[in-house]
Amino acid sequence: MSEHTRQRAVILASGGLDSTVVAAVAQRDGYEIYLLTLAYRQRHAIEIERAAQVAAALGARQHRVIEVDLRAIGGSALTDDLPVPKNRTEQDRGQGIPITYVPGRNLIFLSLAAAHAEVLGASVIYFGANVVDYSGYPDCRAEFLRAFEAVVQAGTKAGAEGRRIEVRTPLLSLTKADIVRLGLTLNAPIHLTHSCYDPVGAVACGLCDSCLIRKQGFADAGVEDPIPYAVS
């Protein structure tokens, strides 16, 4: 398929492992990729720099950064003056909705991605949601994603004209080890990714939920994680 006839896909790109692997999946599926990063005044803003590096490494057609001030709302350890939980066990992480949940984040992100897709004429949004590792996040569940698709169909010009915008979540039911293996198979630039909630400068802390889940995923996959940690 030539560059002139390839279909376009919008990728929600955080600079983390999951969204980077998802972008590689979209390329494998034959799409011309347009990466969209949301700078929401999150604690771990280093992700935005990494997303730009990932976009360049993948040869994305476009990388757009949109600023959305979710710190004005707060309510999360990522957007408010609240401590990020550290050294939690798998059992601890499985109890309730974690304080790192950002109210409305994925709803807002997907809405902006849908608007961007409509303008680009893209038929697909790729989103790195994962329910296995983040079962406490209500906006990563399949029922939320299908409901969102219905809203887009009902509330956009594209939907009114019969052009569906699909939300694809190829990592939804994969383990973190599966995601690591898939990324390696697709030669995704996982060495550029950053997943930490509370970095020490540009280095991942090694102790937050996201770091612990990532490190365990690489260990389970039998692969060395290419990024450094403040605490290994």
**CATH 3.40.50.620 for domain 8-221:** yes
| 211-229 pLDDT tens trace | 999 999 999 999 999 999 9
Whether the predicted pLDDT of 28 surpasses 80: yes
Q: How many percent of the chain have pLDDT more than 70?
A: 96
Q: What angle do CA 193, 19, 27 make, to 5 degrees?
A: 105
CB neighbour list of residue 160: distance below 8 Å, 6 or more residues apart:
none
Question: What does the alpha-carbon distance between residue 198 and residue 55 come to, in Å, rounded to a whole number?
Answer: 23
pLDDT of residue 43: 75
Token pair in block for residue 138: 């209500």
For the chain, domain boundaries: 8-221
Q: Give the chain's end-to-end CA distance (angstroms, integer).
A: 44
| 73-131 pLDDT tens trace | 999 999 999 999 999 988 888 788 888 889 999 999 999 999 999 999 999 999 999 98
pLDDT of residue 5: 55
| 123-177 pLDDT tens trace | 999 999 998 766 578 888 899 999 999 999 999 999 999 999 999 999 999 999 9
